[in-house]
Amino acid sequence: MAKDSLVKQSLPLSLILGSRFFGLFIVMPVLSLYTLSLPGVTPLLVGIAVGGYALTQVLFQIPFGFLSDKFGRKSMIAIGLVIFALGSLICALSEDIYMLILGRLLQGAGAVGGVVSAMIADLVKEENRTKAMVFMGATISLSFTIALILGPILAGSFGVPSLFWITCALACIAFVVLIVTVPNAPKITYSFRNAERSSVLKNKNLQIMNLTNFLQKGFMTLALLVIPIALVKGFDMSKGDLWQVYVPASLLGFFAMIPAAIVAEKKGKFKAVMIVGILFFALAYLLMLSQSKAVFIFGVLVFFIGFSIHEPIMQSLASRYCKAYQKGSAMGIFTAFGYLGSFFGAVLGGHLYEFFSILSLVVFVVIACFVWILIFAFLANPAMQKNLYLPLANSTANASLESLAQLSGILEWYINESERIAVIKYDKHIIDKDKILEFINKHLKDCFKELEC
């Protein structure tokens, strides 16, 4: 796939997702203080207003993913953006804490992160998928950085409701971008129609990737909980100066994505890069035990690098381990585990930090990282899964291709009806491309165009 085609197919969706994350991030530095000024507020309601969106994200990611498999990705993304815009509008107009909570819950209910990832996977060939996910991860990273900077500035000048108006406007713009620039996902005819949809929950590799997203997002929430408290209370840094740490850390993470993606994709070192990221997590938390401000900040930089090199690779891996017909459901579950990790990371991290000190939190993270690396030993090497793309000669080929199931090592096949291409996924350990082409030339030659052994 040409580079310009890759950008054309993945960048609009990345911008849509980035604008949505920007809307969620921009209020985070100021929302808790703002809620204290609203009628009827209590500490519990403040917590729900700040973090409630994560719970509705968890609840709605899976239904959105499942429905996108049934009714199409683009339509479900559009519905999610409308719900998100409505939630932002309610937040902007809220006059008490209860109305604000309703708006925040609706913002989370527009849970299309997994659907966007699935659609990128639909549009981009598997061999280029990590590059596409880098676009998405980089866009989210930049959204996070810009939101942290602009949030307090805009809130101070125009008030917190202005941030929700901006978020609503961005959601409307994203809706237009979706309709105008994003192509429809290709129409797919799947093989293995009788496979159980519940198998997506039984897939060992997907289970490991779901756990990975849970831990990665949980550790990020822990870090965002500890970093500002330690810098402000422990090292006497002004709240207004926190961006001086976050911005360089985010930029370093942004630049770390590209070489990590190259090593993973070109060299087939997906597992190795993921394990390096986990080691970065453990090292970062150990560094944040230091009483030295410089060492602590270095630990923050190390953490953001580890987090960022994970992000595009995780998305790509999760989409590779599921069947084509399960992609929306699988990515919805994967994304839901990430938000669940964020929620439990905040709850558990706050408890450990308040009652047992940062040392207990670091010990917990390091032990979890060690177990996490051991679990990765059971993850299948995705580099052994290859795809063969073959142009179909006629419309009657679909039924004939069922004979591919006779070949040991064929993981699945499906037909891109929009482009009339058969995509055959196989395990390189068991069968190679030449044997597949030999079988096709012998039994299915009339189904394809100009095949060579």
- Res 351: pLDDT: 65
- Res 352: pLDDT: 66
What predicted TM-score, i.e. pTM, was given to this entire model?
Answer: 0.73
Dihedral angle of Cα 240, 170, 48, 234, to the nearest 10 degrees = -20
- Res 40: pLDDT: 82
Q: Which residues of the chain are modeled with pLDDT < 50?
A: 1-4, 193-194, 453
The H or E element containing residue 386 is strand 385-391
Helix, coil or strand: residue 242: coil
Rounded to whole angstroms, the Cα distance separating 444 from 453 reads 13
Go through the chain and tell me how many residues it has: 453
Instruction: Report CA torsion sign: 333, 339, 342, 343.
Output: negative
Rounded to whole angstroms, the Cα distance separating 89 from 101 reads 12
Cβ atoms of 39 and 328 within 8 Å: the answer is no
- Res 162: pLDDT: 93
Beta bridge partners of 426: 386, 410
Helix, coil or strand: residue 414: strand
Tell me the two tokens of residue 112: 């299309």
Encode pLDDT of 138-177 as tens digits: 777 778 778 877 887 888 789 889 999 999 999 999 999 9
Encode pLDDT of 171-222 as tens digits: 999 999 999 988 777 776 665 544 555 567 778 888 999 999 999 988 887 8
- Res 31: pLDDT: 80
- Res 106: pLDDT: 93
One-letter amino acid identity for 130?
T
Rounded to whole angstroms, the Cα distance separating 369 from 280 reads 10
Helix, coil or strand: residue 6: helix
- Res 240: pLDDT: 67
Rounded to whole angstroms, the Cα distance separating 202 from 196 reads 10
Residue 8, burial from CB neighbour count under 10 angstroms (0-12, 13-18, 19+): middle
Cβ atoms of 137 and 21 within 8 Å: the answer is no
The H or E element containing residue 176 is helix 160-181
Tell me the two tokens of residue 83: 């719900």
Alpha helices, H only, 160-242: 160-181, 199-202, 204-229
Cβ atoms of 100 and 38 within 8 Å: the answer is yes
